[in-house]
């Protein structure tokens, strides 16, 4: 299973972004994590079947109703499979 890493920039901390996006990703069966970064960005690491990838990216780009996503940077990683989807603090 491929692992995708997203760095989300914009107004994404303190607006419920992690909770909102994390809940949606859990719902569709993603594994990995979402966490705030010290620079104000959010990192999302996702492992999911490729046919569900458009849904993942839709949720990441939409974000929270109280925030605003300005930019999303995506990369692909090679790593062991995660066992769950976690919201890290």
List active site positions: 18, 36
- Please answer whether residues 44 and 34 qualify as being in contact, where contact means their C-beta atoms are separated by less than 8 angstroms: yes
Angle formed at CA 53 by CA 47 and CA 58, multiple of 5 degrees: 120
Distance in angstroms (rounded) separating the CA atoms of residues 11 and 1: 31
């Amino acid at each position: 299973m491929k692992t995708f890493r997203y760095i989300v920039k914009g107004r994404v901390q303190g607006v419920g972004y992690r909770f909102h996006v994390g809940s949606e990703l859990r719902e569709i069966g993603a594994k990995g994590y979402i966490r705030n970064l010290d620079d104000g960005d959010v990192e999302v690491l996702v492992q999911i079947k490729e046919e569900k990838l458009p849904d993942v990216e839709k949720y990441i780009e939409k974000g929270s109703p109280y925030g605003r996503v300005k930019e999303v940077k995506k990369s692909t990683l090679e790593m062991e499979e995660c066992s769950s989807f976690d919201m890290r603090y």
